Chains A and B, each alone.
Chain A
Amino acid sequence: MGFSVIGKSLPRKDDPLRATGKAKFTADFFLPGMLYGKILRSPYPHARILNIDTTKAERLSGVKKVVTGKDTLGIKFGVTGFIPPSFDEYALAIEKVRYIGDEVAAVAAISEEIAEEALDLIEVEYEQLPAVFDPIEAMKPGAPEIHDLEHVKNNISLYVDRNFGDVEKAFKDADYVREDEFYCQPVDHAPMEAHVSLADYDVSGKLTLWTSTQSPYYVHKHLERTLGLKESQIRVIKPYTGGGFGDRAGGMSACEFCAALLSIKTGRPVRISYTREEETSTSPRRHPMKVYLKSGVKKDGTLLASHYKLFADTGAYNNYGCVSINIPIEAMTVTYRVPSVRYEGYLVYTNTQPSGAMRGHAHNQPSFALDTQLDLIAEELGIDPIDIRIKNARQEYETSCSKIIVGSCGFTRCLEQSRDLSDWNNRKKKQKQGRGIGVGTMSFASGAAFNFFGAPSGYSAATVRLLDDGTVTVLTGASDIGQGSDGTLSMIAAEELGVSMNDIRIISADTELTPVDYGSYSSRVTMFAGNAVKSAASDAKMQLFETVAKKLEANIEDLEAKDRRIYVKGSIEKGMSFAEAICETMAANKMMPVIGKGNYNPHVQFNMLTGEGNCTPAYSFASYVAEVEVDKETGVVKVPYLVAAHDCGRAINPTRVEGQLEGSVQMGLGHALMEELVMDKGLVLNSSFLDYKFPTALEMPSIKSVVVEAPDPHGPFGAKESGEGTTIPVVPSIGNAIYDAIGVRLKEMPFTPEKILKALEEKEKRT
Chain B
Amino acid sequence: MSLPKFDYQAPQTLDEAVLLLSKAKKDAKVIAGGTDLVVAMKQRRITPALVVNIKGIKGLEYIKNGKGELRIGALTPLSSIEESELIREKFPALAKAAGAVGAPQHRNAGTIGGNICLNTRCWYYNQSPFFRKCRPVCYKFGSDKDKCQLFPTREGKANVCYSVFSGDTAPALIALGAKIKIKGPEGEKTIPLTELYTGDGKRPIALAPADIVTEVTVPSPPENSSSAYMKYRVREAIDFPLLGVAVSIALDAGSGTCKNASVVLGAVASRPVEVTEAEKILKGKKITEDLIEQVGEAAFKAAKPLANLLECSPQYRKRLAKVFTKRAIKSALEIIKSA
Footprint of B on A, CB under 8 Å?
41, 43-44, 100, 112-113, 116, 275, 277, 633-634, 636, 674, 678, 683, 685-687, 689-691, 693, 695-699, 752-754, 757
Contact = CB atoms under 8 A, between A and B. Distances in A.
A98 to B, nearest CB: 15
B236 A699 contact: yes
B310 A754 contact: no
B235 A693 contact: yes
Interface in B117-135: 123, 127-128, 130-131, 133-135
A685 B235 contact: no
Given A113-B2, A693-B235, A698-B236, A43 B133 contact: yes
Nearest to A754: B316
Nearest to B242: A753
Nearest to B135: A683
A251 B84 CA distance: 54
A110 to B, nearest CB: 14
A275 B1 contact: yes
Contacts of A634: 232, 320, 323
A167 B81 CA distance: 67
A683 B1 CA distance: 20
A277 B320 CA distance: 31
Given A113-B2, A633-B323, A683-B134, A693 B316 contact: no
Nearest to A282: B130
Contact of B234 (A113, A687, A693): A693
Interface in B306-326: 310-313, 316, 319-320, 323
Contacts of B133: 43
Nearest to A670: B235
B236 A752 contact: no
Given A685-B310, A752-B312, A695 B134 contact: no
Contacts of B134: 43-44, 100, 683
Contacts of A696: 103, 235-238
B253 to A, nearest CB: 32
A689 B123 CA distance: 14
A633 B128 CA distance: 36
A710 to B, nearest CB: 37
B316 A753 contact: yes
B223 interface: no
Contacts of B323: 633-634
Contact of A112 (B2, B127, B320): B2
Nearest to B42: A275
Nearest to A684: B131
Contacts of A690: 238-240
Contact of A277 (B130, B135, B238): B130
Contact of B310 (A116, A678, A689): A678
30 contacts: A100-B134, A112-B2, A113-B2, A275-B128, A633-B323, A634-B320, A634-B323, A674-B234, A683-B134, A683-B135, A685-B127, A685-B131, A690-B238, A690-B239, A691-B310, A693-B311, A695-B235, A696-B103, A696-B235, A696-B236, A696-B237, A696-B238, A697-B237, A698-B236, A698-B237, A699-B235, A699-B236, A752-B312, A753-B312, A757-B319
A277 B128 contact: yes
B311 to A, nearest CB: 8
Of A44, A678, A698, A753, which is in contact with the most chain B CB atoms at under 10 Å from its CB? A753
Contacts of B311: 693
A633 B321 CA distance: 11
Interface in B279-335: 310-313, 316, 319-320, 323
Nearest to B240: A690
Contacts of A687: 128
B234 A754 contact: no
A407 B155 CA distance: 70
Interface string B221-249: 00000000000101111111000000000
A686 B238 CA distance: 15
A684 B133 CA distance: 13
Nearest to B237: A696
Nearest to A682: B134
Contacts of A757: 316, 319
Contacts of A678: 310
B313 A686 contact: no
A690 B239 CA distance: 7
B312 A754 contact: yes
Contacts of B319: 757
Contacts of A698: 235-237
A686 B320 contact: no
A683 B131 contact: yes
Nearest to B2: A113
Contacts of A275: 1, 128
A696 B237 CA distance: 7
A41 B310 contact: no
A112 B1 CA distance: 8
Contacts of B313: 754
Contacts of A43: 130, 133-134
Nearest to B315: A754
A106 to B, nearest CB: 15
Contacts of B320: 634
Contacts of A691: 123, 310
A668 to B, nearest CB: 16
Contacts of A44: 134
Contacts of B236: 696, 698-699
Given A685-B127, A693-B239, A757-B316, 7 more contacts: A674-B235, A691-B310, A696-B235, A696-B237, A698-B236, A753-B312, A754-B313
Nearest to B131: A683
Interface in B94-142: 103, 123, 127-128, 130-131, 133-135
Contacts of A41: 130
Of B123, B237, B240, B310, which is in contact with the most chain A CB atoms at under 10 Å from its CB? B310
10 smallest CB-CB distances across A and B, nearest first, come from A698-B236, A43-B134, A43-B133, A696-B237, A633-B323, A754-B316, A113-B2, A693-B234, A674-B234, A683-B134
Contacts of B103: 696
B330 to A, nearest CB: 12
B329 to A, nearest CB: 14
Contacts of A636: 232
Contacts of B316: 753-754, 757
Interface in B143-187: none
A632 to B, nearest CB: 10
A134 B19 CA distance: 57
B89 to A, nearest CB: 24
A695 B239 CA distance: 11
A81 B232 CA distance: 48
A693 B310 CA distance: 11
Contacts of A685: 123, 127, 131, 310
Nearest to B319: A757
Contacts of A674: 234-235
A690 B323 CA distance: 25
Nearest to B232: A634
A721 to B, nearest CB: 30
A698 B236 CA distance: 6
A116 B1 contact: yes
Contacts of A697: 237
A255 B244 CA distance: 42
A275 B130 CA distance: 11
Contacts of B235: 674, 693, 695-696, 698-699
Contacts of A100: 134
Interface in B229-279: 232, 234-240
Contacts of A686: 123, 310
Contacts of B2: 112-113, 116
Interface string B1-27: 110000000000000000000000000
A188 B137 CA distance: 27
A135 B220 CA distance: 61
A27 B128 CA distance: 22
Contacts of B240: 690
Nearest to A689: B238
